[in-house]
């Protein structure tokens, strides 16, 4: 059976002889109660093994590993804000975000982890089999190696089902990316206490519940795509919801309103006409930001702040440690508008600049902004806010709060939305926007650094199967 057949059969399977969806939810709830977790904020001077560099004031680990909080100066000749400074997370390592799969009785199951990160909204979330930075899996922390690491390090090409280098938040990380990988194991494999087998269908049902499935799982799952027309059509269409079937049909189309060549030309044009300078600067030289004993924050208390935490989590490779976390000043909103064009659903995609991106622009949701910006009807910086605010309830297909990565962000969540618009919605768009079929988005997903993490999060939540 080919890879896409394995994924599609698992997508359509909501029943699971190992664990029902209700049992998985109870398991996550029980682990929340059983695992001792204590997260205390503390002044930077008390963060064990973290120091402010004497020359730059950058906040770094004494080993030089893990990550650091550095300064950035950005200057560009377009958009509303053309010059600014900010702190940014500098983590040059490429980590693993990996899921082990195994076939049982013709169905592919995913080995998922109940994992606690210090910044998680609700402590335990459904995580990949392996979620580890290079500093973690090389044991810089002097703890034990992450479970299942050897399966990914020793994976052969025929075991790898998905393998991508994908970016993380370009406004917070400086050129950060992880290896998103799914492998298939045929032999026996131990299943430890914090791990369970789930189908793809079960995982996707959980994604549309608030803060249950972590960001790392969502980005890996987004790499699973469907394009085989005969394969999709050979299944009984009654298994799919109406919108699910329409989205699967869109996933087959790679030449919609815009050809792939035209989309590449559009993106190249935006990149080539943007004059950009991004300078790495000392944190002490970051204008408008204040470094206090307890926080690094903007003088107007906007955007985000950086705080220190002391962490105790009983079931981690290392149970006690200290670290900085980035804490948002408010929630965000990430929303895709979709419209039928030529009979096929198209996604309204934004080419969005973020200062930490590898190559300036990545494809983003139609709207990606702060909650306060969505509420400001006079805001001219963001297009299509009116359409999000005035969407009819029956046209909102996805509306859920999703946590960002709890290993670096403190209780940050975005409202993720997917909204249908009607035939009267204009097809002509501002220069930074384009219509794409799901098949075109999936084509770009196969390559590095085209689709941003906010867009991938929504794509991972697409629902195909009837409730």
pLDDT digits (tens, 9 = 90+) for 33-74: 999 999 999 999 999 999 999 999 999 999 999 999 999 999
Chain mean pLDDT for the chain: 94
- Name the band, by pLDDT with cuts 50, 70 and 90, for residue 236: low
- Mean pLDDT for the stretch of residues 113-118: 96
DSSP 240: B
**What pLDDT was estimated at residue 81?**
67
Paired with 339 in beta bridges are 346
If DSSP codes are grouped into helix, strand and coil, which group holds residue 107? strand
Rg (the chain; Cα; Å): 22
Give the separation between CA 221 and CA 215, rounded to whole angstroms.
10
Give the separation between CA 32 and CA 253, rounded to whole angstroms.
43
Identify each DSSP E strand in 66-176 by its residue range.
Answer: 68-76, 83-90, 95-104, 107-116, 124-127, 130-132, 160-167
Comparison of pLDDT for 99 and 82, the residue scoring more: 99
Answer for the pair 266, 259: CB distance below 8 angstroms, yes or no.
Answer: no
- Name the band, by pLDDT with cuts 50, 70 and 90, for residue 382: confident
Q: Which residues contact 242 (CB under 8 A, 6 or more apart)?
A: none
Establish if 97 belongs to a structural domain: no
- Name the band, by pLDDT with cuts 50, 70 and 90, for residue 127: very high
Q: Which residues contact 48 (CB under 8 A, 6 or more apart)?
A: 310, 321, 322
Paired with 107 in beta bridges are 104
**What pLDDT was estimated at residue 379?**
64
Residue 79 in this model has a pLDDT that exceeds 70? no
Give the separation between CA 181 and CA 128, rounded to whole angstroms.
10
Establish if 103 belongs to a structural domain: no
Which phi and psi angles does 463 have, rounded to 5°?
Answer: -105, 130
Report the number of distinct structural domains present in the chain: 1
Establish if 368 belongs to a structural domain: yes
**What pLDDT was estimated at residue 218?**
98
- Name the band, by pLDDT with cuts 50, 70 and 90, for residue 204: very high
Q: How would you label 334-362 residue by residue, b for 16+ Cβ within 10 Å and e otherwise?
A: bbbbbbebeebbbbbbbbbbbbbbeebbb
pLDDT digits (tens, 9 = 90+) for 324-350: 999 999 999 999 999 999 999 999 999
Paired with 270 in beta bridges are none
Establish if 389 belongs to a structural domain: yes
pLDDT digits (tens, 9 = 90+) for 429-441: 999 999 999 999 9
What is the residue-wise DSSP string for 356-397?
A: T-TTSEEEE-SEEEEHHHHH-TT--SSTTHHHHHT--GGGEE
Establish if 85 belongs to a structural domain: no
Paired with 103 in beta bridges are 108
Expressed as residue numbers, the domain containing 409 is 249-275+330-460
Give the separation between CA 310 and CA 49, rounded to whole angstroms.
11
* DSSP-based helix, strand, coil % in the chain, nearest 5: 25, 35, 40
Answer for the pair 206, 460: CB distance below 8 angstroms, yes or no.
Answer: no
Establish if 438 belongs to a structural domain: yes
Give the separation between CA 462 and CA 223, rounded to whole angstroms.
12
Give the separation between CA 87 and CA 298, rounded to whole angstroms.
10
Establish if 22 belongs to a structural domain: no
How far is Cα of residue 243 from the mean position of the Cα atoms in its chain?
A: 23
Residue 84 in this model has a pLDDT that exceeds 90? yes
If DSSP codes are grouped into helix, strand and coil, which group holds residue 71? strand
Angle among Cα 254, 397, 250 to the nearest 5 degrees reads: 15
Establish if 49 belongs to a structural domain: no
DSSP 157: G
Give the separation between CA 109 and CA 240, rounded to whole angstroms.
20
**What pLDDT was estimated at residue 275?**
86
- What CATH number is associated with residue 254? 3.90.79.40
Q: For residue 306, give the H/E element and its range.
A: strand 304-313
Q: Which residues contact 424 (CB under 8 A, 6 or more apart)?
A: none
Answer for the pair 249, 22: CB distance below 8 angstroms, yes or no.
Answer: no
Answer for the pair 437, 254: CB distance below 8 angstroms, yes or no.
Answer: yes
């Amino acid at each position: 059976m080919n890879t896409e057949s394995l994924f599609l059969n698992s997508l359509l399977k909501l029943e699971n002889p190992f664990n029902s969806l209700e049992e998985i939810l109870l398991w996550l709830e029980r682990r929340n109660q059983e695992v001792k977790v204590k997260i205390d904020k503390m002044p930077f001077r008390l963060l064990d093994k973290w120091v402010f560099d004497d020359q730059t004031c950058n906040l770094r680990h004494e080993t030089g590993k893990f990550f650091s909080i550095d300064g950035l100066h950005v200057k560009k000749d377009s958009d509303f804000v053309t010059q600014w400074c900010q702190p940014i997370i500098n983590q040059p390592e490429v980590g693993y975000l990996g899921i082990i799969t195994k076939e049982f009785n013709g169905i592919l199951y995913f080995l998922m982890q109940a994992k606690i990160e210090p910044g998680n909204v609700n402590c335990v979330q459904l995580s990949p089999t392996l979620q580890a930075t290079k500093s973690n899996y090389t044991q810089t922390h002097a703890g034990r190696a992450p479970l299942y690491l050897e399966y990914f390090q020793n994976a052969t090409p025929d075991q790898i089902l998905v393998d991508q280098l994908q970016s993380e938040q370009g406004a917070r990380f400086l050129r950060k990316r992880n290896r998103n990988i799914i492998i298939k194991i045929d032999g026996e494999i131990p299943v430890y206490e914090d791990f369970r087998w789930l189908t793809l269908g079960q995982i996707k049902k959980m994604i549309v519940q608030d803060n249950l499935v972590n960001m790392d799982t969502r980005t890996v799952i987004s790499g699973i795509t469907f394009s085989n027309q005969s394969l999709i059509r050979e299944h009984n269409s009654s298994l799919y919801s109406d919108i699910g079937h329409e989205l699967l049909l869109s996933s087959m189309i790679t030449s919609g309103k815009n050809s792939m060549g035209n989309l590449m030309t559009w993106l190249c044009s935006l990149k080539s006409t943007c004059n950009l300078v991004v300078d790495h600067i000392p944190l002490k030289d970051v204008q408008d930001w204040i470094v206090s004993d307890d926080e690094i924050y903007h003088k107007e208390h906007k955007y985000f702040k950086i705080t220190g935490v002391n962490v105790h989590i009983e079931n981690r490779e290392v149970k006690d440690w200290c670290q900085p976390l980035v804490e948002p000043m408010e929630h965000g909103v990430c929303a895709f508008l979709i419209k039928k064009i030529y009979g096929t659903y198209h996604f309204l995609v934004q080419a969005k600049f973020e200062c930490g991106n590898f190559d300036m622009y990545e494809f983003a949701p139609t709207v990606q902004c702060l909650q306060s910006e969505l509420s400001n009807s006079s805001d001219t910086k963001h297009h299509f806010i009116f359409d999000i605010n005035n969407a009819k309830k029956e046209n909102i297909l996805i509306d859920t709060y999703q946590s960002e990565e709890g290993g670096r962000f403190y209780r940050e969540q975005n409202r993720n939305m997917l909204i249908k618009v009607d035939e009267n919605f204009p097809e002509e768009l501002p220069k930074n926007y384009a219509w794409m079929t799901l098949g075109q988005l999936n084509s770009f997903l196969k390559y590095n650094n085209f689709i941003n993490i906010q867009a991938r999060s929504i794509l991972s939540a697409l629902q195909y199967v009837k409730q």
